[in-house]
Structures are given as structure tokens and as C-alpha cells.
Amino acid sequence: MNYKGRTILASVLMATVFAGLGVRLAFLHLKPSPETLVRIESGRHLEEETRGPRGRILDRNGNILAVDIAARHLCADPKFILENGDIQQVCEAIAGVVPLSRSEIWTLLDQPERQYVRIQKYMREKTLEQLKEMKLKGVILEETSMRNYPKGALGAHVIGFSNCEGVGGAGIEQRLNSYLQGTTGRKVSLKDGRRHEIYSRRTVDIEPQSGADIYLTIDQQVQHFAEKALDALVAKYQPQGAWAIVQNVRSGEILAMASWPAYNPNRYGSAPPEWMRNRTISYGYEPGSVMKAMIIASALDGGYVTPRDVFDCENGHWMYGGRALNDSHGEGLLSVADIIKKSSNIGAAKIALQMGNEKTYQSLKSFGFGARTGIDLPGEEGGILWTVKNWSKISITRLAMGHEINVTALQMLSALSAIANDGVRMRPYLVDKVVDAAGETVFKTLPGELGRPIRPETAKTMRRLLARVTQPGGTGTKAAVRGYPVAGKTGTAQKVRPKEEGGGYYDHKYFASFAGFLPVENPAISIIVVVDDPQGAHYGGSVCGPAFRIIADQTVRYLRISPQGFPTEYVSGLGPIVPEEKKSAEAGAL
């Protein structure tokens, strides 16, 4: 074939090829089949949904208690690794960073038919730094996020935990889940041949929004004081449980809420359910003599007795309604003031009898017993306060000494705080404010009043009477704080024996407690410490008094509470009560 012929042939061939391409192009663009369209679209279409991070949980000073952090799932492509013959190197590298043996990793990777295996979930970026540097082929580090609690077990029962799906499972995480959850972002776009997104083809771009931040009323330092005191107490008395609460008496804010046994929310899966129980709000117990404070306060308020009235305490043994009532230390004649100081059961019973069933019931109800306080935590119990028609003849005498009634520590503290707060019972709360991702405050909790069980004058008298409990001769001397007048009441109650075990009370199992507040004249904080079945000692004063003292001593110094008054800069709620004459003097000075 000559030159001309070859040229024509080449031209014809090229023209045919181009014509073919042109026809295919026209066919694809002008009249593609539905299957082709779907295939093309699915190959190019990109649709991503990203979950916004959960909001943070912070203490009252902005210390982070819970936060979503970046993490990775360590995954691999076994097929690729086996084909490239790198399995040994990969196994050795991975074995150094995950809690799996080399043989376990080998078994996972020795699956030539699989292209994806997950070796370890939720690994921290820092742990993987070394692995990243090695740039191992076939090893995939999938991006994810995980909930982390940087303070570990601190405040675990208040904070709670959130599960792998980002849903709160306990505590604040559960109660405020709707605020904490972020919104899901959405991206719709097209991919190029290398499976990279073509930004200019992005048609939907909704940014995921992180959830709102929750600021608690808890102070991490006060929480630490409470937990540390409980740890020391547990080490000494090996109880079945111990719990403590610190409250701002003026506003009702909870500054610390500790419960033992505790757990680390970072490893909530390995904690027994019983450890996760927030005993301060969900564990009802018979409070014992702490209840005398409320009974006597009501009797004083109703004018049934005065602090100087004297009762015969029968030298510690009294028969009433066919049943014996005993005092741990036999006393003869005691004034109302001394009945509190010496914690006489017989004296308290006689005072309650003066009030009568109905008045006693109403007064206990007005102190909040038998009803939930409404704290912003899930799982709160309301306790048990039987109505008068369910009472026996001796019920009133048992109620006066804190039996035949079931309360939570929070209820008891709330009632005692009412005495400290001039007779005003404040709603206890844990959430100070909720701030959304844009920095706007969604809501702020304002202190709320739950009732006024006693008059301010009665509260003042009661504060002075309760202050005698920690003074020499009282049952709570071990709770006294050096430099600060402390008011409080000890409580020791035998534990109720379940019906399955025959009912009644255990002979040698007790609930020991101490609830108090300070400074006496202008109370700032109230604290309750409860211990379930302490070993070696069982009196509230000797078991819980020292723990109370440790918490109170450290808290007043940390919060800069003076022995005379309130730390003005600390109170976010009501603030200190300033007497009228001082207010006017201040106004004049300004």
C-alpha cells in the first residue's frame, strides 16, 4: 500500500474511533438508560450525615467534667495486608498499642476474604501517634468521637454517663440529654474519579451543631473534699455504703453530692449497677435522731413547747402503748434544749405526743418528707411518710426518733437547710445554667422556694439549740469545726430487716448520720453524711461527725466563709441575708 492509501486508512480508522466515541457520548448524554443513570449517580453521589458533638458538662467555675473528644477506631484490610505480605510487621506494630496479643491480632488479620476488620474501638489520638508515623499499608484509622470524663470518678453519680450512641444513660447526661445532644449535619455533593468530593458540586451543606453546655452548681473542689472524706470514712468503718451532700442553704444549690461505692464513667460498662446508684437521692433510710430537729422545731413553732420546758426522760426506759422505748444514755429530767443536745428518744416522743398525730404528720409533710424534692436528676425517691390513718398507737413516738419513716439524704438535708435558712425550704438544684453552642444562655435556674415549715424566729431558736449538739456534752462534738460555730444533729438508726428475713430491725446493723450547717448565726452551707452499716462503731456522732468536720472545715476555708457570715462573692442565688439596718447603712455610704 502506498503512502496515500495508508493515510486514507489511518484517517478512516481515526474517524471511526472518534465517531464511535461521539455516538457513545451522545448516547450517554442525550438518552441514557435508567440503569446507566442510576449507576452513574450512585458512583458520583455523596451524602454524609455527621452527628454534632454532645455539649460539655462543667462545674460552677467552668471546669470541664464531661466532653466529647476525638478518637479513632483501629481497623484493617486483611485482604490487602495478606496480598502485600506485611502481616507480621502490622501485627507487631499494632500489638504495641492495643491491649491484644500478637496472636489475637494475627487471627483477626488472617482472613483473606475480608476487606475490613475492626481491631480496637475508641482509641485515643495520643495512643495512635506512633502507629500513624509508621504509615502501615492496609491499616485504617477511622475517625470518631467519644465521651470522656477528665476527672474520672469525681462526681460520677451527678454527671452520669453517655453510651456509645451518644445517649445519656444516667445522671445529668440522662436528665438533660435533649440539651446535650448536638444536631446532625448533612452534606450532599458529588465525587470525582478519585472519590474526592467536588466542592463546587456541593448542593446541601448543613453544619452539625454541638449540644448545649451544662453548667452545674457543683464545685469540683468541694466535691473532692466530700469524696475524699467518704473514702477515709469507708477505709475506717468498711460500711456497705456512704454518701454526703453539701448545699448552699440560702439558694438550695448543691455544691457537692458524693456517693460510695463510686465508679469511673469512662469505664461505666465494667461497673456493677449497684455502684452506679446515687444513694443521696435514691436510697431511702430511717434517719434516726436527726428527725428530732424537725419534730422539736415544729413543736416550738406551734407553741406546744418552749426550749425551757422540762420533760421526764424516765431514766432511759419508758413503756408506751405496751412497747418499751429506750435512750442510749438514761436521763431524768431534761429541758427541750437538752433533749436535742442529749438526743433523748423518750423526750422527743413526749414532745411529739404533745403535738398530736395530725400536727406531727402535717409538720413532717411541710418539711418535705414523703415527696420528691424535684432535683434535676433522674431516679429520685420520695421516701415514705405514712398517712395518720396508717399509724399505730406508738407510731408518733417512733416518728419522733426517726423510725417508721423513710427519707433520702437530700430530703433530710433540705429540711435541715430550712431551719438554717430562716424557715424557708429551698428547692435543691444542680443545674446552674444551660448555654447553647452560640454562647446564648438557654436557661438559668433561679432559686425556688418549696415552703415555709417554720417561722424565722423559731428557726433562729432552733439554730441555737442545734449548736449545742456540737458543744461539750452534746452528741456531735466530733463534728465541731475549729473557729466556726456548728449546728447539727446526730442520727443512729437500726436498719430495717426485710420481710424475707423475718421483718423488724437488725440488732447490729445501723444507719449512722450527721446533718448540720455553719456558721450558726448566718448559715452558709449545710452538710449531711450518711453511712450504711459501719463496722466497729455505729453512732452518728462518732462515725459521721469527723467526716462532717473534715468536709466543713475544708469547704469554709476554700469558699472563704467567715465565722460570722456568708461569702458574698460566691453566692449566685439569693446572696447573703443582710439585716435591714446594715442595708440602709450601706445605701448611705454609697
What is the contact surface with another protein in residues (CB under 8 A)? 53, 63-64, 67-70, 125-126, 148, 150-152, 154, 197-200, 202, 220-221, 224, 482-484, 554, 556-558, 560, 562-563, 565, 568, 576, 578, 582, 585-586, 588-589
* C-beta of 172 vs 375, nearer to another protein: 172
In whole angstroms, what is the distance from residue 68 CA to residue 122 CA? Answer: 12
CA distances from 364 to 279, 338, 396, 422, 453 (A): 22, 22, 11, 17, 9
Question: Please, what is the minimum distance in Å from the beta carbon of residue 558 to another protein?
Answer: 6
Alpha helices in 425-516 (DSSP H): 456-467
The neighbouring-strand residues paired with 477 are none
Question: Please, what is the minimum distance in Å from the beta carbon of residue 483 to another protein?
Answer: 3
Question: Please, what is the minimum distance in Å from the beta carbon of residue 389 to another protein?
Answer: 50
The answer to whether residues 144 and 403 touch, using CB atoms and an 8 Å cutoff, is no
Question: Please, what is the minimum distance in Å from the beta carbon of residue 547 to another protein?
Answer: 17
Q: Tell me the DSSP string of 8-19.
A: HHHHHHHHHHHH
The answer to whether residues 406 and 390 touch, using CB atoms and an 8 Å cutoff, is no
The answer to whether residues 460 and 422 touch, using CB atoms and an 8 Å cutoff, is yes
Question: Please, what is the minimum distance in Å from the beta carbon of residue 531 to another protein?
Answer: 22
Question: Please, what is the minimum distance in Å from the beta carbon of residue 248 to another protein?
Answer: 18
Residue partners of 579: CB distance under 8 A and separation at least 6: none
Question: Please, what is the minimum distance in Å from the beta carbon of residue 437 to another protein?
Answer: 12
In whole angstroms, what is the distance from residue 82 CA to residue 92 CA? Answer: 15
Question: Please, what is the minimum distance in Å from the beta carbon of residue 436 to another protein?
Answer: 17
Q: Which stretches of 171-240 are assigned E, i.e. beta strand? A: 184-191, 197-198, 204-206, 213-216
Question: Please, what is the minimum distance in Å from the beta carbon of residue 489 to another protein?
Answer: 23
DSSP 534: -
Phi-psi region of 437 (alpha: psi -120 to 50; beta: other; left: phi over 0): alpha
The single-letter code of the amino acid at 60 is R
Question: Please, what is the minimum distance in Å from the beta carbon of residue 378 to another protein?
Answer: 25
C-alpha cell at 261: 461505692
Strands 45-51 and 57-58: unpaired
Closest CA to 278 of 172, 429, 437: 172
Strands 213-216 and 505-518: unpaired
Collapse the DSSP code of 272 into the 3-class scheme (helix H, G, I; strand E, B; otherwise coil) and give the result.
Answer: coil
Closest CA to 175 of 191, 164, 159, 186: 159
* C-beta of 283 vs 548, nearer to another protein: 548
The answer to whether residues 457 and 464 touch, using CB atoms and an 8 Å cutoff, is no
DSSP 499: G
Cis preceding-peptide flag for 261 (omega within 30 of 0): yes
The neighbouring-strand residues paired with 142 are 73
* C-beta of 150 vs 498, nearer to another protein: 150
The answer to whether residues 475 and 342 touch, using CB atoms and an 8 Å cutoff, is yes
* C-beta of 207 vs 449, nearer to another protein: 207
* C-beta of 514 vs 566, nearer to another protein: 566
Question: Please, what is the minimum distance in Å from the beta carbon of residue 479 to another protein?
Answer: 16
Question: Please, what is the minimum distance in Å from the beta carbon of residue 46 to another protein?
Answer: 12
* C-beta of 120 vs 555, nearer to another protein: 555
The answer to whether residues 490 and 283 touch, using CB atoms and an 8 Å cutoff, is no
* C-beta of 150 vs 332, nearer to another protein: 150
* C-beta of 63 vs 471, nearer to another protein: 63
How many other C-beta atoms can be found within 10 angstroms of the C-beta atom of residue 384? 13
Closest CA to 419 of 315, 552, 559, 293: 293
